[in-house]
């Protein structure tokens, strides 16, 4: 094997986000999810109704929200879990559920400030949509980033407008590009979320998405397979035979191809998604915990390859 790029972990051959955080902060850092009770403009009618076709409808029921528990209590419970399980020393509070910039800037400021007030919290990660980041919210995050770590997680899912329309995303690729440019150079990391396996999507068009991430200078990426859960439009399409899930081997091969093209400097936050067994519809790969993550890493090893091995082939 030739020399691996310095950004790549020598054992797993990718620049995992955990590895990136350890290099940057010098200790084990974990992300702790909190639910601050935000909603989504693609469900409340301001941008769309019904939401993305794969969106878990049950997660919008009041029973499924944790927002009645204070941010501080959710943080304490999450940090205790990660300290116990992984020996984590520092934490990034992850505003994950729904659209976490979709409210007044005063409310956003209050939520982020409360998360950052704990001495073991080094920063925040904020999940949102490309059509839901106001100039004032971007300015707020830029101000926080002057003192703390900030990662903005933008859901893009596909770089094909036809697919975005098909899945009822309610935004376009152009809106993602505009938002990525708006936050560029503001002092915080940009993570982009992608999904592979949409109806009608080819592996070649999925792999082309790497070009856009590189052109926009994203810092990290989250990827997962398209999967259907109960009660979604996607589950209905599956029942009608209009959504044919990828096989496990197809997904593993495509994810390994993606990693080979992805420059080593872009860290990898996620390579698969999982849904609770009780609501999972398809695909049914019978994999536990991190098995898909390791299947992809093993595929790279089998190829004697690594993240970014082929990035120069495309990005010249």
Measure the CA–CA gap between 306 and 5, rounded to whole angstroms: 9
By CB under 6 A, the residues from 261 to 300 that bind ligand SF4 are none
Residue 42 Cβ vs ligand SF4, minimum distance, rounded to whole Å: 4
Between residues 130 and 308, which has the closer beta carbon with respect to ligand SF4? 130
Between residues 40 and 141, which has the closer beta carbon with respect to ligand SF4? 40
3-state SS track over the chain: CCCCCCCCCCCCCCCEHHHHHHHHHCCCEEEEEECCCCCCCCCECCCCECCCCCCCHHHHCHHHCCCCCCHHHHHHHHHHHHHHHHCCCEEEEEECCCCCCCCCHHHHHHHHHHHHCCCCEEEEEEEECCCCCCHHHHHHHHHHHCCCEEEEEEEEECCCHHHHHHCCCCCCHHHHHHHHHHHCCCCCEEEEEEEECCCCCCHHHHHCHHHHHHHHCCCEEEEEECCEECCCHHHHHHHCCCCCCCCHHHHHHHHHHHHHHCCCCCEEEECCCCCCCCCEEECCCCCCCCHHHHHHHHHHHHCCCCCCCCHHHHCC
Residue 129 Cβ vs ligand SF4, minimum distance, rounded to whole Å: 5
- Does position 40 bind ligand SF4 by CB under 6 A? yes
Choose the binding region for ligand SF4 from 47-55, 158-166, 256-264, 276-284 (rule: CB under 6 A): 47-55
Residue for token pair 């990693």: 259
Between residues 52 and 265, which has the closer beta carbon with respect to ligand SF4? 52
By CB under 6 A, the residues from 115 to 134 that bind ligand SF4 are 129
Between residues 88 and 101, which has the closer beta carbon with respect to ligand SF4? 101
Site string for ligand SF4, 131-170 (x = CB under 6 A): ------------------------x---------------
Residue 88 Cβ vs ligand SF4, minimum distance, rounded to whole Å: 27
By CB under 6 A, the residues from 190 to 229 that bind ligand SF4 are none
Q: Which of 36, 55, 115, 255 binds ligand SF4 (CB under 6 A)?
A: 55
Choose the binding region for ligand SF4 from 10-18, 51-59, 211-219, 294-302 (rule: CB under 6 A): 51-59
- Does position 47 bind ligand SF4 by CB under 6 A? no
Residue 8 Cβ vs ligand SF4, minimum distance, rounded to whole Å: 31
- Residues forming the site for ligand SF4 (CB under 6 A): 40, 42-43, 51-52, 55, 98, 129, 155
């Amino acid at each position: 094997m030739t020399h691996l790029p310095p950004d790549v972990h020598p054992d797993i051959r990718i620049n995992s986000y955990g590895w990136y955080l350890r290099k940057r902060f010098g200790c084990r850092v974990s992300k702790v999810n909190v639910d601050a009770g935000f909603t989504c403009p693609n469900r409340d009618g301001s941008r769309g109704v019904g939401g993305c076709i794969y969106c878990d409808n049950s997660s919008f029921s009041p029973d499924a929200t944790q927002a009645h528990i204070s941010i501080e209590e959710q943080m304490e419970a999450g940090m205790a879990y990660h300290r116990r399980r992984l020996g984590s020393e520092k934490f990034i509070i992850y505003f994950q559920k729904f659209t976490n910039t979709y409210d007044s800037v005063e409310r956003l400021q209050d939520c982020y400030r409360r998360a950052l007030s704990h001495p073991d919290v080094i920063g925040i990660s904020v999940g949102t949509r490309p059509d839901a980041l106001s100039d004032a919210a971007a300015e707020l995050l830029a101000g926080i980033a002057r003192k703390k770590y900030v990662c903005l997680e933008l859901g893009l899912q596909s770089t094909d407008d036809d697919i975005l329309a098909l899945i009822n995303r309610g935004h376009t690729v152009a809106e993602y590009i505009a938002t990525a440019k708006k936050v560029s150079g503001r002092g915080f990391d940009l993570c982009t979320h992608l999904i592979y396996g949409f109806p009608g999507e080819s592996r070649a068009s999925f792999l082309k998405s790497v070009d856009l991430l590189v052109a926009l200078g994203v810092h990290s990426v989250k990827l997962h397979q398209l999967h259907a859960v109960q009660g979604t439009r996607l589950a209905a399409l599956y029942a009608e035979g209009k959504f044919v899930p990828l096989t496990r081997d197809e997904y593993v091969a495509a994810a390994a191809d993606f990693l080979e093209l992805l420059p080593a400097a872009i860290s990898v936050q996620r390579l698969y998604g999982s849904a609770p067994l009780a609501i999972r519809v398809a695909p049914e790969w019978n994999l536990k915990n991190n098995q898909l993550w390791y299947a992809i890493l093993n595929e790279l090893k089998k190829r004697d390859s690594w993240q970014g091995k082929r990035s120069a082939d495309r990005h010249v």
